[in-house]
Amino acid sequence: MGKKRIIQQNQEELIKESEKMEGKVAKDVRVSAPARSKEGRIYISSTYNNTIITLTDLNGNVLSWTSAGAIGFKGTKKSTPFAASKVSEAISQVAKKLGIEKVEVYIKGIGSGRESALRSLVARGIEVAAIKDVTPVPHNGCRAPKARRV
């Protein structure tokens, strides 16, 4: 094997790359009908493979949604906390456009992006009124198999 070369990006290339990522975030975010109130709900579904965030009004009608895959992350990068924070930044931009300032957050799943998505939402200036964990928990398992007769 030959020598390994380390490629260093200069400042201009880093700026271009970050603008490209921001452009993807802005382009891929889906926005539907405008919100009528300043309150809403955010559902964070964090799995081992992806993080999906849905923005709804108080009745549960979906206003917008986005996921790590929709933003442009592929493969194992979708399940990282960094990807989850980028997804929540994108959904917070949409919430600001729709005029939503106060949200209730419902978190489901056991993925690695749970906390980072919530922290990113709070850091972007969205007021979080309540946080509820709605992860389904099995309580007795499935039915045991029938006894074997010999």
Model confidence over 70-94: pLDDT tens digits?
Answer: 999 999 999 999 999 999 999 999 9
CATH number of 26-133: 3.30.420.80
Highest mean pLDDT (candidates 14-28, 35-49, 54-68): 54-68
CA dihedral for 25, 31, 35, 39, sign (positive or negative): negative
Give me 15's structure tokens: 């700026």
CA distance 36 to 16: 37
pLDDT over 90, % of the chain: 65
Q: Give pLDDT tens digits for 96-115.
A: 999 999 999 999 999 888 99
43, 53 contact by CB (below 8 A): yes
The whole-number pLDDT of residue 35 equals: 42
Q: pTM (2 decimals)?
A: 0.72
What CA–CA distance (Å, rounded) separates 88 from 121? 6
Least confident piece of the model among 52-56, 114-118, 133-137, 141-145: 141-145
Q: Among residues 119, 52, 98, which one has the least CA distance to residue 79?
A: 52
The H or E element that residue 107 is part of is strand 102-108
Of 70 and 33, more confident: 70
